[in-house]
Structure 1
């Protein structure tokens, strides 16, 4: 396992898990939010972002967290494993609100400089709709782009802890 892709709703624990896996497996860590957003929450042009993602995915080893469905076609074929962080939506909402409070004065380590933590109604809607709208798109992309890719779906803390016990210790 040299290239692990982690996807899931906001607040699902993707970045936290990515940091832990990168540490345990001694792999480079790539937070896609740091590559996508520009200061002030400005989005990059699509072609430039796709080129950057293609270059990142071409690296020999990584733990990469982030959704960005429009680039799954670049990342899934390169991944050795897909981890779908899939806790209940209420847990994701609570985590996002707790994270917002925790980072009210300090930047999040997985966000670029100039992008302070923020929560708005559209973001909360995205989280609420993730199980019905985004998750099926991810699974459909896996089925069409990388059907042989192993998928680990983590719904509960117990799922997460059990799966982590199967991995090497640092």
Structure 2
């Protein structure tokens, strides 16, 4: 029997569905959710300074239980070792970009619940460029960080929306935790 997993990290490209999946995992497993965007972005889309940001993340990962979503490569060295399970949304670029555009259309001018106060939804060239180059740049750095921390055995890699739905429905690759076994007694059907 899989012991209860109390710390889940959700990573992947912008628009891949990290926040949505994190909320669903947290709901099913009865765990608190931490959206890193809410902590990183100050009103007016002002980034938290690096040293302050690392201290914030260190405090968040020290909590006994969480489902945390967000990339922020500069803090992977804090988050990967603390996570008992890492869900990597490795979705195709076209899926992520379409989802990001839909999210922008839905929330344009308003602040999403998973975002910091005073940060209304926006779509700019730098974000689109980051999404476009994610498979070549950020994805490779994420894979290197996972490898450097020996995290391969703790990673559930989901490559398309169908795999996400199947995993949430209870399917898992051999040796990896099924969604239904993350937190016995708390996980919904």
TM-score greater than 0.5 by the shorter chain: yes
Partners of 1:82 and 1:60 in 2: CA distance: 16
Give 1:37's aligned residue: 41
1:79 aligned residue (77, 83, 90) = 83
Please say if residues 76 and 146 of structure 1, whose CA atoms lie closer than 8 Å, have aligned partners that are also in contact.
Answer: no
Please say if residues 86 and 154 of structure 1, whose CA atoms lie closer than 8 Å, have aligned partners that are also in contact.
Answer: yes
Paired positions, count: 170
Give 1:68's aligned residue: 72
5+ residue gaps in structure 2?
A: 171-178, 181-186
- TM-score normalised according to structure 1 size: 0.96
The Cα shift of 1:164 comes to 1.0
Query: What's the Cα RMSD here?
Result: 1.1
Please say if residues 85 and 155 of structure 2, whose CA atoms lie closer than 8 Å, have aligned partners that are also in contact.
Answer: yes
- TM-score normalised according to structure 2 size: 0.86
Partners of 2:77 and 2:142 in 1: CA distance: 10
5+ residue gaps in structure 1?
A: none
Please say if residues 80 and 151 of structure 2, whose CA atoms lie closer than 8 Å, have aligned partners that are also in contact.
Answer: no
Give 1:113's aligned residue: 117
1:152 aligned residue (140, 156, 164) = 156
The Cα shift of 1:128 comes to 0.9
1:57 aligned residue (58, 61, 65) = 61
Partners of 1:120 and 1:112 in 2: CA distance: 17
Give 1:99's aligned residue: 103
2:146 aligned residue (142, 146, 149) = 142
Partners of 1:111 and 1:95 in 2: CA distance: 16
Q: Which has the higher helix share?
A: 1
The ranges of structure 1 where at least 4 consecutive aligned residues each deviate by more than 6 angstroms after the TM superposition are none
